[in-house]
Amino acid sequence: MARILITSALPYINGIKHLGNLVGSQLPADLFARYNRGRGNEVMFICATDEHGTPAELAAAKAGQPVAEYCAELHDVQADIAKRFGLSFDYFGRSSSPQNHRLTQHFAGKLADNDLIEEVSEKQVYSIDDGRFLPDRYIEGTCPNCGHEGARGDQCDECTKQLSPTDLIDPYSTISGSKNLEVRETKHLFLRQSRLRDTLDEWISSKTDWPVLTTSIAKKWLHDGDGLRDRGITRDLDWGVPVKRGDQPWPGMEGKVFYVWFDAPIEYIGATAEWAEANSLDDSAWERWWRTDKGADDVRYVQFMGKDNVPFHTLSFPATIMGSGEPWKLVDYIKSFNYLNYDGGQFSTSKGRGVFMDQALSILPSDYWRWWLLSHAPENSDAEFTWENFQASVNKDLADVLGNFASRVTKFCRSKFGEVVPEGGTYGPEEQALINTLDKRIKAYNTHMDDMEVRKAASELRAIWVAGNEYLQTAAPWAKFKENPEAAAAVIRLSLNLIRLYAVLSAPFIPDASATLLKAMNTTDDSWPDDVTQALNTLPARHEFTVPDVLFAKITDEQRKEWQEKFAGKRD
Contact predicate 553/399, CB 8 Å: yes
Instruction: Please indicate if the annotation marks 47 as binding a ligand.
Output: no
Can you give the pLDDT at residue 236? 86
E-strand stretches of 317-430: 333-337, 340-342, 383-385
pLDDT value at 571 more than 60: no
Name which residue leads in pLDDT, 47 or 123. 47
Amino acid letter, 217? I
Contact predicate 217/336, CB 8 Å: yes
Q: How far apart are CA 548 and CA 546, in angstroms?
A: 6
Helix (H, G, I), strand (E, B) or coil at 417: coil
Domains recognised in the chain with CATH numbers: 383-535 (1.10.730.10)
Q: How far apart are CA 155 and CA 170, in angstroms?
A: 15
Q: How far apart are CA 444 and CA 453, in angstroms?
A: 11
Instruction: Please indicate if the annotation marks 159 as binding a ligand.
Output: yes
Instruction: Please indicate if the annotation marks 71 as binding a ligand.
Output: no
**pTM of this prediction exceeds 0.75:** yes
- Sign of the C-alpha dihedral computed for residues 270, 41, 6 and 32 taken in this order: negative
pLDDT confidence bin for 558, thresholds 50/70/90: very high
Please give the DSSP secondary-structure letter assigned to residue 349: T
Residue 122 main-chain phi, psi, to 5 deg: -130, 160
pLDDT confidence bin for 132, thresholds 50/70/90: confident
Q: How far apart are CA 412 and CA 44, in angstroms?
A: 42
Q: How far apart are CA 379 and CA 482, in angstroms?
A: 50
Amino acid letter, 535? A
Can you give the pLDDT at residue 570? 62
pLDDT value at 296 more than 90: yes
Can you give the pLDDT at residue 138? 84
Contact predicate 551/402, CB 8 Å: yes
Can you give the pLDDT at residue 569? 79
The pLDDT tens digits of the residues spanning 312-351 come to 999 999 999 999 999 999 999 999 999 999 998 888 877 7
The pLDDT tens digits of the residues spanning 155-181 come to 898 898 888 888 999 999 988 899 999
pLDDT value at 572 more than 50: no
The pLDDT tens digits of the residues spanning 227-257 come to 789 999 999 888 999 999 999 999 999 989 9
Report the mean per-residue pLDDT for the chain. 95
Q: How far apart are CA 460 and CA 443, in angstroms?
A: 10
Q: How far apart are CA 421 and CA 124, in angstroms?
A: 73
Contact predicate 6/43, CB 8 Å: yes
CB atoms within 10 A of CB 98: 12
Q: How far apart are CA 122 and CA 137, in angstroms?
A: 17
User: Which of 488, 494, 513, 477 shows the shortest CA–CA distance to 402?
Assistant: 513
The pLDDT tens digits of the residues spanning 257-275 come to 999 999 999 999 999 999 9
